[in-house]
């Protein structure tokens, strides 16, 4: 599994977690945690934090740098094309986000 997939999966989990706690707070369902009733404000807090984490997970984009020449070179870092036979050797790689 790639990093991108893992970030998406964690985003979905955080999203569901946020949704569950938001629904719980709206309908005021009682939750007992370690023998104590969990207050509504705690669910609101958890929902806000989880929603933020979900948002960040989906906002994060993987950035790559590609050569627009015939070499088809790709790099995770910005730089220049270093392929000997490429017409764009020494030219900066172009930023693309997936």
Q: How far is the CB of 87 from Zn ion (least distance, A)?
A: 7
All residues at 6 or more sequence positions from 95 whose CB lies less than 8 Å from its CB, including other chains = 63, 64, 65, 78
Determine, following the binding rule CB under 5 A, whether residue 20 of this chain makes contact with Zn ion: no
All residues at 6 or more sequence positions from 16 whose CB lies less than 8 Å from its CB, including other chains = none
Q: How far is the CB of 22 from Zn ion (least distance, A)?
A: 49
Largest CA distance in the chain: 69
- Give the one residue of 66, 69, 75, 80 binding Zn ion; rule: CB under 5 A: 69
Q: How far is the CB of 26 from Zn ion (least distance, A)?
A: 55
Determine, following the binding rule CB under 5 A, whether residue 93 of this chain makes contact with Zn ion: no
CB neighbours (10 Å) of residue 67? 23
- Give the one residue of 71, 77, 94, 98 binding Zn ion; rule: CB under 5 A: 71
Q: What angle do CA 53, 55, 59 make, to 5 degrees?
A: 115
Count of residues that bind Zn ion according to CB under 5 A: 8
- Site residues for Zn ion per CB under 5 A: 67, 69, 71, 73, 81, 83, 86, 88
């Amino acid at each position: 599994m790639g990093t991108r997939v893992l970030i998406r999966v964690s985003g979905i989990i955080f999203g569901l977690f946020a949704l569950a706690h938001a629904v719980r707070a709206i309908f005021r369902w009682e939750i007992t945690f370690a023998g104590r009733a969990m207050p509504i404000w705690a669910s609101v807090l958890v929902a806000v934090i989880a929603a933020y984490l979900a948002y960040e997970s989906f906002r994060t984009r993987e950035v790559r740098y590609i050569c627009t020449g015939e070499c088809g070179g790709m790099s995770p870092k910005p730089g220049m094309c270093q392929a000997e036979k490429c017409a764009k050797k020494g030219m900066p790689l172009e930023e693309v986000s997936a």
